[in-house]
Structure 1
Amino acid sequence: MATIALDQSVLRGTGTGMTVDSQLTDWSTLSDAEIMLRVRDGDDAGYTYLIEKYRRPIIHFMFRMVHNEALAEELAQEVFLRVYRSRATYRADARFTTWLYRIATNLGVNHARDTKYERAAQNIYLDQADAETGTTPDVADARPTVEHLMLQGERMQAIRQHVMALPERQRTAVLMHKYQGMDYREIGEVLKLSESATKSLLFRAYQTLRDKLKDFV
């Protein structure tokens, strides 16, 4: 996939949609849906705000799907391009994050299908979230021992491989639940499942992972 460059005038908020009112807007006082409705109506400054708010979470989400930092950033750019291109059809009948992650999920799944991307990661990255807590280690934290890093790396690689080996919907649900902190209802909205069906889907996924990873517990 060729590198995708976002429209810099949009990113800087200097496009035709930038108004005096939008410059003075305190975006944090508005919901994401309200902001996206303003973007739909031509206010590009709101789009810049949403990119700044969700860029890192979407990159992390895409990284969990493709296990390549450069590709994850590229796909995240494509996600936001699709958001912008689809702004005219946006309807606030669901959470903005539901709509955003549905776009990201579809893009990641289609990429995996189209390219048969090899998911096994070859490196341990500093910004990888811990498999149990979902938190990202700070570079300034005290350095663990070499033995700890080796054991952690082996465990994380096993978790990564078994998560990516799950059936498609189970894999996507685990990524959203464990690493993005999304609840059952939010995941169900993205996957177009009921809350009870989402709970059942995650139960089966986690049961499979427990069975596969019992040697690492």
Structure 2
Amino acid sequence: MIWKRRKAENPEPADTRADSEESPQLSQVGGVPSDMSSMAIRGAFPSTAGEKQLHFSDPTTLAETDDAQIMLRVREGDDAAFNYLVERYRVAMINFMYRMVHNASIAEELAQEVFLRVYRSRANYTADAKFTTWLYRIATNLAMNHARDNKHERPEFKASLDETDEDTGLSIDVADGTPNAEQEILRRERLRAIRKQVDALPERQRVAVMMHKYQELDYRQIAEILHLSESATKSLLFRAYEALRQSLKDFV
């Protein structure tokens, strides 16, 4: 799957770990050659005569380098560094966006836009905070703006009882009366209920839960992303989880 090239007319200014649980097909979005993700994004921008000649890091050293330092290399025009960050966080971004919009193709479009904005704002990047904090701030702003612009088109998440299990690769036969099949059906019904109730949370609570529960960001990172204090973030998440406990008490 190769990300689509994007036009560069009137580029928007940039807004200042992934799990694969129950995100259909999204944990399998790899397969893009290591240079193609960078090419797809870089192709969106015209070259300029004054641009520095690009240099390339040794991929073997990037894995041992802090993400913020890698992004500083991107700021200096290091293609391999940018490519490394795209490959490292691409699935995380798609999964995050999928949980926000419940549409695989839109999730991928939004994830690509996140990295386009990262690239566009590279010259202004400073390593004052974790790279993931900066990355998720861009992603969160984009996801929330999309949700507001398309609030009447947001689809309800629907779990199929005959979908393929990600761990075994097998589908569960609803007619199968074995205990394992019954447990699997109950598990999926519970997941569907959880997602429905998470979607029903107020927007900021929902985003905070997504980042805390699914992306495993800590309170400080979430606070910086949402422009809140740590205490306000803890209070926000407490209210969100309490609301979920109340609405899901029949499934606990």
Q: What TM-score bracket applies, with the shorter chain setting the length?
A: 0.7 to 0.9
CA distance in 2, matches of 1:13, 1:5: 6
Q: Which residue of 2 aligns with 1:197?
A: 232
Instruction: Give the 3 Å change call, closer, same or farther, for CA 113–9 of structure 1 in structure 2.
Output: closer
Shift of 1:162: 0.8
Q: Cα distance 1:25–1:149, how it changes in 2: closer, same or farther (>3 A)?
A: closer
Larger radius of gyration: 2
Distance, in Å, in 2 between the alignment partners of 1:4 and 1:50 is 18
The yes-or-no answer on 1:48 pairing with 2:68 is no
How many aligned positions are there? 205
**Correspondent of 1:122 among 143, 146, 158:** 158
Pairing 1:1-217 to 2, within 5 Å after superposition: 4-5=4-5, 8=36, 10-11=38-39, 18-19=54-55, 22-23=57-58, 26-116=61-151, 117-124=153-160, 137-139=166-168, 145-217=180-252
- For the residue of structure 1 that corresponds to 2:5, the secondary structure is coil
Give the superposition deviation at 1:183: 1.0
Q: Would the aligned equivalents of 1:67 and 1:119 in 2 still touch at CA under 8 Å?
A: yes
Q: How far has the Cα of 1:146 moved from its partner?
A: 3.1
Taking structure 1 as reference, are residues 126 and 199 closer, same or farther at Cα in structure 2, changes over 3 Å only? farther
**Is the 8 Å Cα contact of residues 18 and 45 (structure 1) preserved in structure 2?**
no
Between structures 1 and 2, the one with greater helix share:
1
Deviation at 1:148, TM superposition (A): 2.4
Say if 2:134 and 2:225, in contact at 8 Å, map to a contact too.
Answer: yes
* Residue ranges of structure 2 left out of the alignment (5+ in a row): 7-34, 44-51, 173-178
Task: Judge conservation of contact 2:37–2:87 (CA < 8 Å) in 1.
Answer: no
Distance 1:51 1:24 in 2: 13
Deviation of 1:122 (Å): 2.4
Alignment check: 8 A CA contact 2:93 2:111 kept: yes
Unaligned runs of 5+ in 1: 128-136
TM-score by length of 1: 0.83
Q: CA deviation at 1:11?
A: 3.8
Could you list the per-position Cα deviations for residues 118-168 of structure 1 after superposition, in whole angstroms to 9, with x for gaps in the alignment? 2411245768xxxxxxxxx53458979332232122211111111111111
Cα distance in 1 between the residues matched to 2:73 and 2:169: 39
What is the distance in 1 between the residues matched to 2:53 and 2:244? 48
TM-score by length of 2: 0.73
Alignment RMSD: 2.8
Which shifted more, 140-149 or 92-101?
140-149
Distance 2:139 2:188 in 1: 27
- The CA distance in 2 between the partners of 1:189 and 1:195, in whole Å, is 8
Q: Secondary structure at the match of 1:79?
A: helix
